[in-house]
Amino acid sequence: MAKKTSIGGMALLEGIMMIGPEKKSVAVRKPDGEIDIKTEPLAHNKKIRKIPLVRGVYGIFTQMVYGIKSLMHAASLIETEEDGDGEPSKFEKWMDKKFGDKAFNVMIYFSVVIALFFSVGLFILLPNLLAGLVPTGSVILNNLIEGVLRIGIFFTYIVLVSKMKDIKRVWMYHGAEHKTISCYENGEELTVENARKYTTKHKRCGTSFLFIVLVVSVLVFSFTGWNSMLLNLVIRLLLIPVVAGISYEIIKIAGASDGLFSKVASAPGLFFQRFTTKEPDDGMLEVAIAAFKEVIPEEEGSDKW
């Protein structure tokens, strides 16, 4: 029987970030063909990660920080190799002057805030605004329309983004990440040959989590009634941590078993992975394996899902 690991990853520009129980590793294929590997210990709060609901919100925020930091690191490696050591931009000079050694960290947290605003605005607030334009006179119907719009916007966004050339390569790295994790979970040696035969889909993928967030938001927001447009927006903003916390617990339970609940909860995410994962080449699998090996814990079983 295959084991289930808590080790997860994120596809980057020509690379992959892997997060284990103790360490985070970023492996990037540079333009010269070399694989750059950067590994560092995690600085997370173990007590918070044990509190139901709260751990979900905390985990999402920390993973966004790790993700954006890794994206910036990968982009800097590619730009440095391709463009050489060029002059810093005016914005970079201003950041260095204003924040000094803390400029990079400031940029990371600023990027996280922007990403949160974008996600909340596009997938939470916009559907509510659009649904409010339909005078149904029914609380249930308005919430249902909002839910359908939210899922529709998410699906449209995924499809449109998937058509971008650079994103297609990111999706291929996403597939390499899943193949590597599946290879490890099935107890096989982490080699390109072994990883290649596995599917690019994985039921504990972040795509599945995002879809669960959308569904849970429909259910949670339904209990708040249908108010004025401004009050609806405020309520939804305040309930985002609740939605995130509940969604995390659902994916946690679903990922731990192979029963009916797990299959139902994972099915939409697996469907969306038709768009967010692609078959990788062997070089991408090498990068994924390199990142994964760095975060395997010394204590066997400590990465159990």
pTM of the predicted model as reported, rounded to 2 decimal places: 0.84
| pLDDT score at 101 | 64
In a domain, 3, yes or no: no
Distance between CA atoms of residues 286 and 194, nearest Å? 11
| pLDDT score at 195 | 98
In a domain, 26, yes or no: yes
| pLDDT score at 117 | 82
Q: What amino acid is encoded at 265 in this protein?
A: A
In a domain, 305, yes or no: no
| pLDDT score at 255 | 83
Residues pairing with 10 in the sheet: 17
In a domain, 102, yes or no: yes
In a domain, 301, yes or no: no
Q: Which domain holds residue 184?
A: 8-294
Measure the CA dihedral 249/254/201/212, to 10°.
-50
Number of domains the chain contains: 1
In a domain, 300, yes or no: no
Distance between CA atoms of residues 270 and 240, nearest Å? 24
Helical H segments across 84-228, by residue range:
90-99, 103-120, 126-131, 139-162, 165-185, 192-196, 206-222
Nearest to 280 by CA among 165, 167, 176, 163: 176
Listed as ranges, residues in the chain with pLDDT below 50 are 81-82
In a domain, 1, yes or no: no
Tell me which DSSP letter residue 15 carries: E
Nearest to 218 by CA among 161, 270, 273, 152: 152
In a domain, 303, yes or no: no
